[in-house]
């Protein structure tokens, strides 16, 4: 019977022991490194693509602002052409654009 008690004690000791930690094998480490190595260029490319998207968004916003400015200018010109344009307005507009009469010289004073 002494032997039976010791078997029961061994069984209890086995049950009370902490479970063994699972060891990571060399193959698993290699697979993880390969996957990590493959993932780094993908993440890098995603970062570059995001930068390109941000830059193109800025260009798009600037183009939209320019389009709005041109549309407003066109509306103003359309309103001016409906009511007839005075010679004074045409002279002032041409002067603002840098034009002059053929016999005229423009001097700019700073």
- Asked if residues 90 and 80 have their Cβ atoms less than 8 Å apart, the reply is no
Half-sphere exposure (Cβ direction) of 3: Cα atoms closer than 13 Å: 0
Q: Which two tokens stand for residue 76?
A: 């103003």
Per domain, the residue ranges of the chain are: 25-95
Q: Can you give the pLDDT of all 110 residues of the chain as single tens digits?
A: 445 567 777 777 776 776 666 777 888 889 999 999 989 988 889 989 999 999 999 999 999 999 999 999 999 888 877 777 777 888 888 888 888 888 888 777 87
Task: Give the whole-angstrom CA distance, residue 82 versus residue 88.
Answer: 16
Distance CA 28, CA 10 (A): 34
Calpha distance 96→87 (Å, rounded): 14
| Burial (CB count <10 Å: 0-12, 13-18, 19+), residue 80 | middle
User: pTM for the complete prediction?
Assistant: 0.42
Angle of CA points 24, 30, 31, to nearest 5°: 90
């Amino acid at each position: 019977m002494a032997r039976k008690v010791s078997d029961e004690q061994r069984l209890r000791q086995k049950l009370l022991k902490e479970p063994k930690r699972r060891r990571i094998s060399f193959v698993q480490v290699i697979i993880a490194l390969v996957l990590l190595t493959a993932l780094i260029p993908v993440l890098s490319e995603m970062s570059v693509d995001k930068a390109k998207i941000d830059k193109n968004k800025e260009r798009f916003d600037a183009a939209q602002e320019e389009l709005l400015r041109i549309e407003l200018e066109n509306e103003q010109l359309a309103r001016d052409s409906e009511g007839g344009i005075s010679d004074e307005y045409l002279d002032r507009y041409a002067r603002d654009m840098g034009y002059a009469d053929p016999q005229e010289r423009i001097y700019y004073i700073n």
